[in-house]
Amino acid sequence: MYRALACTLVSLASACGAVAQSADDVQEADFTFDGLATVVSDYRYRGWSLSGERPALQLEANVAHVSGFYAGAFASTIEEYGIDADGDGAKVELDISAGWAASVAGFDLDAGAMVYLYPGASDVNYVVLPVSAARSFGEWSVTLGYEYTPSQSSLGDVDGTYVWVGADWASDSFPIWFSSVIGREEGAWAPEGKTDWSLGAFHTLGPVDLGLTYTDTDEAAAGSAVVAELRSHF
């Protein structure tokens, strides 16, 4: 699993390096790059564990242009998924995204597309179309998001939706900041409908951020969890 992630991360780093080099050739000041390396005690996504309730390694890289257009990639180790006839499945999830983000009339808007890839598995990749709007109110930031999953063969030709609301609080006078979200999913991934929610607390310690997040869902089979994480920006 970790060798697979390492290979994926090397590919991501090479791609980001190529993008950065291209940006330098055009006009360096027009581009910004950021990355994030994370270790989590359990990779939870909308309440479900994607790592078999075991720790996961993750890497994220993003490049953005002053025009608002951006591209990004996220990789994580996962529990083996999409096992096909040869008995093998994906041990790494790779998400590739692109879109446009800008501030308009006090709102931070973001619209894009994302493809979820599972190298080594067969017919499980899929595409989603997310949009969101966020606004700050003093020490609070509130975000409303909507994600549409088009009908596609890997999802049994069924489409889906996910609507979520997030609220974050941070203060210069307090060392801990908080992040919460509640979402409702319908369709491809939740034929009967599903609600999930989470609340996390985070603290910066030197070069890393430490976090604890409680996550739960009304899907009894998923169960609740407290996820610890350590992440570092680069």
Residue pair 75/57 in contact (Cβ under 8 Å)? The answer is no
Q: What pLDDT score was predicted for residue 28?
A: 63
Q: Which two structure tokens, joined as six digits, stand for 120?
A: 């080594």
93 Cβ contact list (under 8 Å, min separation 6): 50, 74, 75, 76, 78, 81, 116, 117, 118
Q: What pLDDT score was predicted for residue 23?
A: 44
Q: How many CB atoms lie within 10 A of CB 190?
A: 19
205 Cβ contact list (under 8 Å, min separation 6): none
How far apart, in whole angstroms, are the C-alpha atoms of residue 25 and residue 43? Answer: 38
In order along its 234 residues, the chain shows pLDDT tens digits of 445 454 554 455 455 455 445 445 545 679 999 999 999 999 999 999 999 999 999 999 999 999 999 999 999 999 999 998 778 899 999 999 999 999 999 999 999 999 999 999 989 999 999 999 999 999 999 999 999 999 999 999 999 999 999 999 999 999 999 999 999 999 999 999 999 999 999 999 999 999 999 999 999 999 999 999 999 998
How far apart, in whole angstroms, are the C-alpha atoms of residue 106 and residue 158? Answer: 36
Q: What pLDDT score was predicted for residue 29?
A: 77
Q: What pLDDT score was predicted for residue 7?
A: 53
How far apart, in whole angstroms, are the C-alpha atoms of residue 195 and residue 189? Answer: 12
Query: What is this structure's pTM?
Result: 0.87
Q: What pLDDT score was predicted for residue 86?
A: 79
Residue pair 99/69 in contact (Cβ under 8 Å)? The answer is yes
Q: Which domain holds residue 156?
A: 2-233
**CATH of residue 60:** 2.40.160.40
Q: Domain tally for the chain? A: 1
Q: What pLDDT score was predicted for residue 19?
A: 47
Q: What pLDDT score was predicted for residue 108?
A: 98
Give the Å distances, CA to CA, from 26 to 29, 39, 57, 95: 9, 35, 34, 27
Please report, as a single letter, which amino acid is at residue 156: G
Residue pair 230/208 in contact (Cβ under 8 Å)? The answer is yes
DSSP assigned state of 63: E
